[in-house]
Amino acid sequence: MRYSKIRSFVGTAILLGIFAAAFFGYPLSGCNYLPVSYIRLFCPVGFIENSLSSHSIAWKLLPGFLIVCTLVLLWGRAYCSWFCPATHAKSKSLGFIAAFLPNSLKRRVGPKWRAARQKIVSKTRLEAKDGIALVLGGAVGIAIFHYPFFCLWCPIGIISRSLVELATHYTLRSELVLLVVPLGLGLLFKSGWKCLCPVGLFRGVVALGNRSVVPSVAPDTCKACGKCEKVCPSEIAVTKTINTMECIKCFKCVDTCPYHAASVRLFRTRR
């Protein structure tokens, strides 16, 4: 089965899982808070944000934070494409809308939209490193003003809270409109909201040390057609190098390669 199909299946399970957990009263707040026995797996950015705003460390949450960091070292930024409820909600709603649009319109609008995005991004030249600078500035603000504002516009939190509200009160939260902040700002960045999402960026920085479960290209089979680079949501030149900070392990490159030159390697080899 192709990775995109498995990812779509996982995405449906995640969204339904959050809904069902809230419906049956299980204390799972999206992917932000998951109690496993005595350990509390907490959003790592939420942990840092809490520590900065309260000027203290919630020691009870520290083991969960360290476990999440270890998972990121092992799997890199896989969370962003496989488990993030915001990513799945976005792709499923876009897929739903696209199903009702005529193919002729999609063929006309798609390339125009991509060209317009390219134009904006070539003017702004904003990349992940600019997102990190913004997030660091935000972290200083949180420490000074004692206010954890990342959670206010974090798409993961917004989508999770709305699913919980839907399951418990059969309504959606008006804060859904705040999604325009990450979506709108994401248009200015090279690879969209992944460049400024604090959760993704934190994982990206930890993932710099990641060496396992990576896409890899066999140079003798590769025909240099460039299709893998074209579909990569992080615009990584897959045939040259893998930037573990930006690679979200979606494996679209592997699914797309018509010559089966790209595959998933358990451990990264030097090129």
Q: Which residues contact 268 (CB under 8 A, 6 or more apart)?
A: 211, 212, 214, 216, 242, 244
Closer to ligand SF4 by CB, 40 or 249: give it: 249
Which residue is listed with tokens 């063929």? 107
Closer to ligand SF4 by CB, 40 or 194: give it: 194
**Residue type present at position 96:** F
Task: State the nearest-atom distance from the C-beta of 24 to ligand SF4, in Å.
Answer: 34
Residues that bind ligand SF4 (CB under 6 A): 215, 217, 222-228, 232-234, 236, 238-239, 242, 247-253, 256-257, 259, 261-262
Task: State the nearest-atom distance from the C-beta of 270 to ligand SF4, in Å.
Answer: 17
Closer to ligand SF4 by CB, 50 or 244: give it: 244
Residues 251 and 215 sit within 8 Å (Cβ to Cβ)? yes
Q: Which residues contact 120 (CB under 8 A, 6 or more apart)?
A: 187, 188
Closer to ligand SF4 by CB, 193 or 251: give it: 251
Closer to ligand SF4 by CB, 182 or 192: give it: 192
DSSP letters, 191-221, are: TGGGGT-HHHHHHHHHGGG--EEEEEE-TTT
Task: State the nearest-atom distance from the C-beta of 108 to ligand SF4, in Å.
Answer: 26
Q: Which residues contact 180 (CB under 8 A, 6 or more apart)?
A: none
Task: State the nearest-atom distance from the C-beta of 235 to ligand SF4, in Å.
Answer: 8
Task: State the nearest-atom distance from the C-beta of 12 to ligand SF4, in Å.
Answer: 20
